[in-house]
Amino acid sequence: MSNPIAVAASASPVTGVTIHDRFRAHHDSANLRQPKVLHPLENEDLRLLILENISQDAVAIFRSQGWHVDHLSKSLGEDELVAKIGTYHAIGIRSKTKITQRVLKAATKLLVIGCFCIGTNQVDLKAAAQTGIPVFNSPFSNSRSVAELVMAELVALSRQLFERAYELRTGIWNKQSKGCWELRGKTLGIVGYGHIGAQLSVLAEAFGLRVLFHDVINIMPLGTARQVESLEKLLQEADFVTLHVPESEDTINMISKEQLAQMKKGSYLINNARGRVVDIPALIEALQAKHLAGAAIDVFPAEPSSNGAPFDDQLNSWASTLRNLPNVILSPHIGGSTEEAQTMIGLEVAQALTRYLDYGSTIGAVNFPEVDLRAIAAEEAGHIRVCHVHKNQPGVLKLVNEALSPYNVEKQYSDSKGEIAYLLADIADVGARDLPGLKDRISSTDANIITRLLA
C-alpha cells in the first residue's frame, strides 16, 4: 500500500508562518503559568512493564519521562505475571493478558494499569480498585478501524469472496453469481449503537443499506438509521446482523440457538465484539443447516496467547469444525489492528497513565472516581500534591484535613465510586522535614489504601 500523502499547512507568502504556528503561539501565550512537572517524593525510579507489542509511540512517551520500560511483544500468563510484576509500578496490556486478583496480590508496587484497547474485561476491575489501582483504556480510538472491517466483511460475505479466492488459489476457476448479492437495498442490524455502531451506521448508509439498531438505552440515530425496541425484532428484519457490545453477564451468549432461529433464512452474522457474546456451537448448527448463509468472526472465547500458536480443538473444542464451514470468515482478533488505531490507542492510554503518575489525575479511569486538579505552576515552590486513595467511609476527610491543617490548602477535590474514594489536595509552604510525618499521618488511618505525595 502506498504511503499516505502528507498535506502541508498553508503558509503566509510574506512571513512563511503557517496557521498551525499561529495557533501554537496563541496557545503558548494563553498559558503564561507553565505547569510544573511533579515527581513522587519517594526516590525509587518508576518501572513500567509493557506487553503485547503495544505501539512504540507509547513506549517513547514513557521513556521520555525518564522511566524504565520493559517492552515485550507477547502476553504473559498468570504464573509469569505473578513472578514478574512485583517490581513494576505500571503495566500496559492489550486483550490477551489477564490481570487477576492473584496477579494484583503479587503486584505490591503497582499504581496503575493501562488497557491499550477498548475492553477491560481482562482485568479484575473491582479487585484493582480495592487495591487502589485505577484502570485506563481507549474506548474510541479504534472505532473507525473496526467499522471499516465490518464493511469489508459485509461485501466479502455477500459475494462469497473468501471461497472464490481460496478456490482460485488452489487452481479452481469457479465463476458464479448464485447466492451472491449486492449490499444496496439490504438491511443491516447493528446490536450496540456506541462509537463503533454509530460510525458503521454512516458507512453502511453510504453503501445503500437500510440500517436498524438495538441498544439498551434510547439513542439519537445518525442519518436515517432507526432504533428498534427489541433484539428479536432486529433479528427478524435484518439481512446482516453485526454485534458491538461489551462482554457482561447480560451479553454472554446473547446470540444462541433461540436468537439464531429468529434470524431470517439466508442472513449473515458478524461478531467483532467479544468472543463469548455468541454461542459458537449453536452458530455452527445454524450454518450447517443452511439457515444462515454465512458468518464472520474476529473474536473467540479462547484465543492463542501469541502469533504462530495453533487455533485448534485443544483451544476451542469446535475449532476444526468451524474452520471447515463454507462462507465463514475467520480472523485473528484484528478489528482494531491498523497502524492508525494502534498509534492513537498508544498515545491516548500512555497520556492517561502519564497524567496519573505525574499529576494524580484519574479522568477516564473505568473503575475509579474521576478526580483532577489544575496544574501547579512551575514558579510555585514548596507546593505538594497529596494523592489519597481510601475506602469510602465516614470521617476520612475530617482526618485528612486535620493532617493538612498546619498548611495552606490551595485547592482540594474528592469523589467516590462504590467502595473507593479518591482525594487530591495541593498544599503550599511545606518544608522537606514535614513530608515524612505528613504522609504517615494521612496513610495511617484505617481507611487508607494508597497515599502518594508529588512535588
The Cα 103–Cα 82 span in angstroms is: 5
Identify the bridge partners of residue 365 per DSSP, sorted by sequence position. Answer: 136
Which contiguous run of DSSP H or E holds residue 231?
Answer: helix 231-237
Identity of residue 437 = G
CB count in 10 Å sphere of residue 271: 25
Are the C-beta atoms of residues 141 and 340 closer than 8 Å to each other?
no
CA 178, 183, 189, 191 torsion-angle sign: positive
- Report helix, strand or coil for 222: coil
Contact 449, 390 (CB under 8 A): yes
The catalytically annotated residue of 303, 370, 410, 441 is 303
Distance between CA 73 and CA 52 in Å, rounded?
5
Q: How far apart are CA 188 and CA 210, in angstroms?
A: 6
Residue 333 catalytic?
yes
Q: Would you call 102 a catalytic residue per the annotation?
A: no
- For residue 449, give the H/E element and its range: strand 448-454
In the chain, % helix, strand, coil (3-state, to 5) comes to 35, 20, 45
- Going from the C-alpha of 357 to that of each of 353, 387, 432, 455, the distances in angstroms are 6, 10, 21, 12
Nearest to 294 by CA among 180, 188, 196: 180
Q: Which of 94, 144, 210, 274 is catalytic?
A: 274
Which residue among 244, 276, 333, 383 is the active-site one? 333
39 catalytically annotated? no
Angle among Cα 14, 20, 23 to the nearest 5 degrees reads 105
277 near 253, Cβ under 8 Å?
A: yes
Secondary structure (H, E, C), 185-232 = CCEEEEECCCHHHHHHHHHHHHCCCEEEEECCCCCCCCCCCEECCCHH
At 151, the amino acid letter reads M
Cβ(69)–Cβ(89) below 8 Å: no
Q: Which residues are the active-site residues?
A: 274, 303, 333
